[in-house]
Amino acid sequence: GLVSSTSDSWGGSEIMEDEDGFLDYTTATAWEAFCAEVEAKLREWKKAQEDGEGLRDFPAAASPSQVIENNEGDQVHVWVLEAKLPQFRPEKYSVALHYPPMDHYLSKWLALGEGEPFVLLYPNSFSGCVLDKEEGVALLSALSTSATSLKFPHPLLIPMRDRQRRSFEGVHLRPGGHVARLQTDCITGRLKAAEMPPLSVVEGYHS
């Protein structure tokens, strides 16, 4: 039976959670369902790390989750989200937990220590990048909300524009609870980072 419910900040609908941990999206809007699924996956990864589980120990049964090793040498745990944002695109999105090598360009930019991961949220499109500014702000809002709610300690990024440009925007929960917005663009071939003011949660994507 249903044992708990959460009321989110995107329109007031309740998303119910049953005793087995499954979320009931039947009364939620597309935006609420998307935010809830992103947060649920980040919560699962955070708990697994706190329990000392390795990347290949993470639950993958009955899900599109997979562990891969990409051509830049980092291990990646990928989850395809069921919730969509049809106001932006017909494709689904994926969220991926990366454990990069120390010489990975994002490891250097984010000043990650050995074994520290980062997370990417991206569309399952041909480019795998977000081209629309409004869509990017909406995805950043979902990540910012999750980072704050879960106290998720790792950088959360979205690939923007195109892969060759290595352009990313993201958020990162800093010590003390401050959520910093991150932005980089390396069209010159050098990765530069600028920390921006905290992202204000965007209203209006819950319809």
Backbone angles phi, psi at 98, to 5 degrees: -105, 135
Q: Residue 6: inside a domain, yes or no?
A: no
125 lies in some domain: yes
180 lies in a domain?
yes
Q: Is residue 96 part of a domain?
A: yes
Per the listing, tokens 């120390």 go with 102
Q: What pLDDT tens digit does each residue of the chain (207 aa) get?
A: 323 333 333 334 444 454 444 445 455 688 888 999 999 999 988 888 888 776 555 554 334 556 666 656 678 888 899 999 999 999 999 999 988 888 888 888 888 888 889 999 999 998 899 988 899 989 999 999 999 999 999 999 999 987 777 889 899 888 777 888 888 877 655 666 666 665 544 433 333
- Any idea of the CA torsion for 144, 81, 73, 109, to the nearest 10 degrees? -10
Residue 10 lies in a domain: no
In a domain, 16, yes or no: no
- Order of strands, edge to edge, in the sheet holding 167-173? 66-69, 75-80, 93-99, 118-123, 156-160, 167-173, 179-184, 193-196
Q: Which domain holds residue 69?
A: 29-196
Nearest to 183 by CA among 73, 172, 4: 172
Q: Is the pTM of this model over 0.95?
A: no
Do the domain assignments include residue 207? Answer: no
Question: Looking at the domain assignment, is residue 20 inside a domain?
Answer: no
Looking at the structure of the chain, the number of domains it has is 1
